[in-house]
Amino acid sequence: MRFSFFAGVLVVAALPAMAQTPNGEPPKTGRKAWTAPRTTDGQPDLQGVWWNSSATPLERPKALEGKPLLTDEELTELKKRAARLFDVNADSDFAGGDNYFLALLANPERYKNPNSTGTSVEMVEREFEHRTSLVVDPADGRIPPLTPEGRQRVRSRPTPTAAGQGPPAGPEDLSNPLRCITYGIPKLGGNSANNSYFQILQTPGYVVLSGEVIHDVRLIPLDGRSHLSRGVRQWHGDSRGRWEGNTLVVDTTNFSSQSDFMGSAENLHLVERFTRTAADTLSYEITLDDPTTWTKPWTAVIRLRQTPIPLYEVACHEGNFYTM
């Protein structure tokens, strides 16, 4: 009865909201206040390479419905399961994204995924926290339902060619990542902890955000200029940045109709907030609003960690085995 631990605790355990910080961690007392460093032009310094290694799923699993936070005991149990299931000698398949956390909840003898192309040997250590979802709004930790138009768009979008379906008729039958065009923004899929590195550079008047995969680079002006006219559309949209205290706020519109984030494209309004909360920690908050895709806006918060490892090239090439 490996699932019995959580089955019993879920009924009776619920920590008061006041006993946790907004990021789902127990409050720490007696710590000296941390002061964010500044760039030479006086702006909060967010520069460096940041890594998303969160084990927290994007959406709260149905098994944890109504439970926004794990207890210390539950968190310890999950870490034990992770060590057993995904040790290099565990003979488990690679678990990316939310599959990692869901596997720990189910706690099988071995994790097997028929769609996986790798094993646990390729996995990196994940960072645990008390939260049960990255989604913080709505309060249920779930992405709002798709609109009828959104459901139709998701059904009709290109998907990777599955085994046995034969080759695609043309490049339009493949998704943007498989064509090495872009992984899109925001890159929430990085919570697999693989290919989830980001680099931030700052110069007077600009912030540069670059990703590890396909070398996506966003040059974001901070001078208060208006967005491009609605007729100008880009893969990553049109971004404008501003400072609100120590938080960098990036407002992005004007996505291309060929962009794709969970079925959302040209009508997406994306607001990102970057706040350095410790020397090695960056809070990354995203709010997505597209009334043609979701029934209401939603927000997720991801904790990024700084790493001294440089941003290496992750080569993407057309003609790989996905397109054969």
Write down the pLDDT at residue 123: 84
Instruction: Identify the residue with better confidence: 13 or 297.
Output: 297
- pLDDT of 148 higher than 70: yes
Contacts by 269-276, CB closer than 8 A, 24 or more apart:
270/185, 270/186, 270/237, 272/186, 273/244, 273/247, 273/248, 273/249, 274/46, 274/200, 274/247, 274/248, 274/250, 275/246, 275/247, 275/248, 276/36, 276/44, 276/45, 276/46, 276/246
pLDDT tens for 236-255 read 999 999 999 999 999 999 99
Q: Report residue 30's pLDDT band, with 50, 70 and 90 as the boundaries.
A: low
Average pLDDT over the chain, rounded to an integer: 85
Q: Has residue 221 been placed in a domain? A: yes
Q: Has residue 298 been placed in a domain? A: yes
Q: Has residue 188 been placed in a domain? A: yes
Q: Has residue 269 been placed in a domain? A: yes
Total structural domains within the chain: 1
Q: Has residue 104 been placed in a domain? A: no
Q: Has residue 72 been placed in a domain? A: no
Domain with 318, as residue range(s), is 137-323
pTM of the model: 0.86
Strand 206-211 and strand 281-289: the pairing is unpaired
141: three-class secondary structure by DSSP:
coil
Q: Has residue 116 been placed in a domain? A: no
Instruction: Identify the residue with better confidence: 252 or 98.
Output: 252
pLDDT tens for 195-230 read 788 899 999 999 999 988 888 899 999 999 999 999
